[in-house]
Structure 1
Amino acid sequence: MDENGIKAVALARIRREARGRNLPVVTSEFSLNGTGIRADLALLDRDTFYGVEIKSASDTLKRLPSQMEGYARYFDRTELIVAPKHLDSLGDIDLYGAKVWRAEASGNLDVLALGDLRRISGQWLLHLLTAEDERRANRAIEQHATELSPIDIDHARRAEFGRAFHKRYGPTSNRFWEAVRGRPIRVEDLKLLSRYHAERQQRQEIERERAQRWATWVEAMQSPSHAI
């Protein structure tokens, strides 16, 4: 499987594990605060924020050490999914407590290491937001800061991060989960996780309508009845 194939399988597993409760808010290619690292998948499942890194057979592990360090800084849980060819090389890399899966060509994911679950500081999570969203969250917290203990402030920061993440990625996540409801998740479904996919579709539809109107007008102008 290539990266997108593994991503589709991973999302199918996530859906199965969430059966009976709300599906997590998910986005693809999530940027980690200007580090140059993009999580292949980022998910907010209730109060747990976790990231998924995928290394297919066509990938190298050259960037994996820095990626795992970055993931550990921002995610409560890190999940690493690797093709079998990479397994022998993982022993030399600090995975920072990541849960490790082996991606088989058959489409199965096998757990190799259970990994750690930590609780990232709410302040670190707020750094992942846009500058405006981070300022908005901090202003909301500052209104009650004198009444809150340090633990309460951290809870408030994580809650503000959750609200901002839901607001930014919730609509596309909901569209994705709704589109794949009751059927297998396919590689072509991944484009639905782009926040800009719907906007691009709308623009393309407008352009098609304009092109059709122009073609209709040109045809009408060239018709014999108009010439007369």
Structure 2
Amino acid sequence: MSSTKILEPQMKATTINYLIEKGQLTSKDTIINEFTIGDFSRRVDLAVVAKNRLYAFEIKSESDTLSRLEGQIAKYLEYFDKVTIVAATKHIPKILRIAPKNVAIWEQKNNKVIVHQRGKIIEIMSQELLLAFMRTSDLSRIAKDLGVYNSNRSEIIYSLRELPVKKIRKTAIKSLQSKFELTNALFWQKAEGIVKIDDLKRLSPYIEWFKRNIDPYHSGSNELVIDLIFQGKVPILETHEDKPTTSSLNQSSQSSSVSS
């Protein structure tokens, strides 16, 4: 008898449940589902902001290949304080061979987590990469405090080059928490007890954008907005900062709607 493959959504739910169980994640922390970094060149399956640190979790289900993993790890280590690879049993031997020692490696088997490598926290202190996490509106507010009034993102970033890195890091983390405040409020409101696959759709990175730009006066309830997004009933979008593409919306909908 063939066993049912455990797909990415279930692995995400199991990962979140494990973090909660171990006291590493609470409703005060921020979860980001499908988080893009590096000028949208990479998409982290799960990012977590907890205790003023940045964590990346890359999920490799039985249906995935490892062809891009080395590149993903290298990029994630640039942006996050700790990187964890969460993988199906069949991938573990190869991941143990290619992943650096500072990368955590977790095996998921029967909805349980087996830690093969603990990894290490190395705080990111790159001014350039920390600023990349921030929205232009957040950067503008910091610049105004320094007497700089400009709407051009690259010029604003240049004006902030003398700020202490620790201050930029603190502000970048607050910016991320603020940006995903609505999705996390929706998630934690519904995620009672054990997190289920269906709860993940409330972490969609497009809910807050939709509420802010398509429904700025919040005339629709949050649940209505969630339903609109995951039924594909959204307007055609163009790509720019903080704005998802139609294809990205569809991918997110399909990924989160897969059942175990």
The 1:128/1:2 distance shift into structure 2, 3 A limit, reads same
Superposition pairs of residues 19-98 of structure 1, within 5 angstroms:
23-95=28-100, 97-98=102-103
Match of 1:8 among 7, 13, 21: 13
Within 5 A, what are the aligned runs for 1:170-209?
Answer: 170-181=181-192, 183-197=193-207, 199=211, 201-202=223-224
Cα distance in 1 for partners of 2:144, 2:23 equals 31
Residues 88 and 107 in structure 2, CA contact (< 8 A), matched pair in contact too: yes
Q: How many angstroms apart in 2 are the aligned matches of 1:119 and 1:141?
A: 26
Q: Which moved more, 1:190-199 or 1:9-18?
A: 190-199
Correspondence for 2:168 among 157, 179, 188: 157
Distance 1:142 1:37 in 2: 33
Measured after TM superposition, the shift of residue 136 of structure 1 is 2.3
Which deviations, in whole Å up to 9, do the C-alpha atoms of 1:49-71 show, x marking residues without a partner? Answer: 11100001110000000000011
- Gapped regions of structure 1 (runs ≥ 5): 144-149, 206-228
Matched residue of 2:185: which SS? helix
Report the Cα distance in structure 2 between the residues aligned to 1:114 and 1:179, rounded to whole angstroms.
30
Structure with bigger gyration radius = 1
1:18 to 1, 18, 23: 23
> Which structure carries more helix by proportion?
1
Give the aligned CA root-mean-square deviation in angstroms.
Answer: 2.7
Q: Distance in 2 between matches of 1:188 and 1:20?
A: 19
Deviations 1:137-166 (A, max 9, x none): 6516746xxxxxx8x811210111122111
Matched residue type, 1:109 = V
> Is the CA contact (8 Å cut-off) linking 1:15 and 1:23 kept in structure 2?
no
Would the alpha carbon gap of residues 201 and 119 (structure 1) be closer, same or farther in structure 2, given more than 3 Å must change?
same
- Alignment partner, residue 122 of structure 2: 118
The DSSP-based 3-state class of the residue aligned with 1:81 is strand
Paired residue type of 1:202: L
State the distance in 2 between where 1:72 and 1:20 align: 21
1:114 deviates by 0.8
Q: TM-score, normalised by structure 2?
A: 0.67
* Matched AA of 2:44: A
Q: CA deviation at 1:119?
A: 0.8
- The worse-fitting range, judged by mean Cα deviation, of 93-102 and 51-60 is 93-102
Which amino acid is 2:176 matched to?
F
SS in 2 for 1:52: strand
Structure 2 gap ranges (5+): 1-5, 148-161, 212-221, 229-260
Sequence identity, in percent?
A: 24
Which amino acid is 2:202 matched to? L
Aligned residues: 196
Assess if the C-alpha contact under 8 Å between 1:24 and 1:43 holds in 2.
yes
